[in-house]
Structure 1
C-alpha cells in the first residue's frame, strides 16, 4: 500500500489496528498526514494514547 489520502473512517480503523499490531511505514505516514489536518482524528488519537498509557500503568487487582 502506497501513501494514500485517508478518510476519517480509514484513519480510525488504522488507529484501532495500531493497538494490536505495528502499522507499516506507509500506514503510519498516511495516518500522520491525515491527523495533521483533521482535528477530530487527532483528538481520537490522543484519547487512544491516553487509554493505552493508563491501562499499561494500571497496577491491577492486589493479590
Structure 2
C-alpha cells in the first residue's frame, strides 16, 4: 500500500505530466481508501486550475510587444 507522502508526490506530478499506468493505478487505489488524500487531490486540482486561469488572464492583459 502506498503511503500518503508518495500519494501527495504523485498528485503534484500529475499536474505537470502524465503519470505512468503504474503510478495512476497506485494513486487511484490509494485515493479510494484515503479520504484525506482525496481532499488533498481535489485541492491541488482546484488550485492548479485557478493558477492557469489567472495566468491566462494576465496574458490577455499584457500588450503583445511585451509577451514572451
Q: TM-score, normalised by structure 2?
A: 0.77
1:60 is matched with 58
Select the structure of larger CA radius of gyration.
2
Per-residue CA deviations over 1:27-49 (Å, capped at 9, x if unaligned) read: 00110110111011001100011
2:21 is matched with 25
How many residues align? The count is: 59
Return the structure number with greater helix share: 2
For structure 1, the residue ranges without an aligned partner over 5 or more in a row are none
For structure 2, the residue ranges without an aligned partner over 5 or more in a row are 63-68
> Where in structure 1 do 4 or more consecutive aligned residues deviate above 2 Å?
none
Q: TM-score, normalised by structure 1?
A: 0.82
1:40 is matched with 36
